[in-house]
């Protein structure tokens, strides 16, 4: 059994942003030398999450607008209120939008390659940027 651990550092640029990390995942799998097993990716944050979906600009815009419709700005969130929270918080919507995604995703590795469908990309969803983000990668197999 082999285990490989690595940290991906990602700088995001705007409040809500999708970042395609598929190639970095493939490079980490290759560097690990692990040919068959599981690769796990784990956001270390509560307002930046992961998903696997299609990488297409128009769709990413649709997702962002969907998030804004489902979790509306401007409601009286307690997390944003000095009555209920210590100061400097204003990101309740970022946390709520994070529920639509995953803190971690698993990808199987077969014959040295991450197994993903033709239209699947591994994507970091920044929901409260710009920030410096870390995604931990854990690969286990042989």
Give me the residues that bind a copy of itself (CB under 8 A), please: 1, 3, 5, 36-38, 40, 42-46, 51-54, 56-59, 61-63, 66, 70-71, 77-79, 81, 84-85, 92, 95-96, 98-108, 110, 115-120, 134, 136, 138, 140-142
State phi, psi for 70 to the nearest 5 degrees: -75, -40
The β-bridge partners of 125 are 18, 49
Round to whole Å and give the CA distance between 35 and 88.
Answer: 46
Q: Are 12 and 126 in contact (CB under 8 A)?
A: yes
Going by DSSP bridges, is the β-strand pair 37-43/104-110 parallel, antiparallel, or unpaired? antiparallel
Cα–Cα distance, 59 to 18 (Å, whole number): 11
Of 15 and 113, nearer to a copy of itself (C-beta) is 113
- The CB-of-42 to a copy of itself minimum distance in angstroms stands at 6
Q: To the nearest whole angstrom, how small is the minimum distance from the Cβ of residue 27 to a copy of itself?
A: 18
Question: Whose Cβ is closer to a copy of itself: residue 31's or residue 119's?
Answer: 119
Q: Which is nearer to a copy of itself, 30 or 65 (CB)?
A: 65
> 5 or 11, CB closer to a copy of itself?
5
The answer to whether 51 and 45 are in contact (CB under 8 A) is no
> Cα Rg for the chain, rounded, in angstroms?
17
């Amino acid at each position: 059994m082999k285990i490989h651990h690595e940290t991906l550092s990602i700088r995001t640029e705007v409040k809500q942003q999708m970042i395609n990390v598929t190639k970095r995942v493939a490079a980490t799998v290759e560097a690990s030398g692990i040919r068959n097993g599981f690769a796990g990716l784990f956001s270390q944050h509560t307002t930046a999450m992961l998903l696997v979906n299609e990488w297409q600009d128009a769709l990413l815009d649709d997702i962002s607008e969907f998030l804004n419709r489902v979790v509306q700005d401007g409601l009286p969130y307690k997390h944003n209120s000095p009555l209920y929270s210590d100061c400097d918080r204003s990101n309740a919507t970022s946390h709520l939008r994070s529920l639509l995604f995953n803190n971690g995703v698993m990808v199987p590795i077969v014959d040295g390659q991450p197994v993903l469908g033709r239209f699947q990309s591994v994507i970091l969803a920044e929901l409260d940027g710009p920030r410096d983000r870390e995604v931990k990668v854990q690969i286990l197999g042989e």
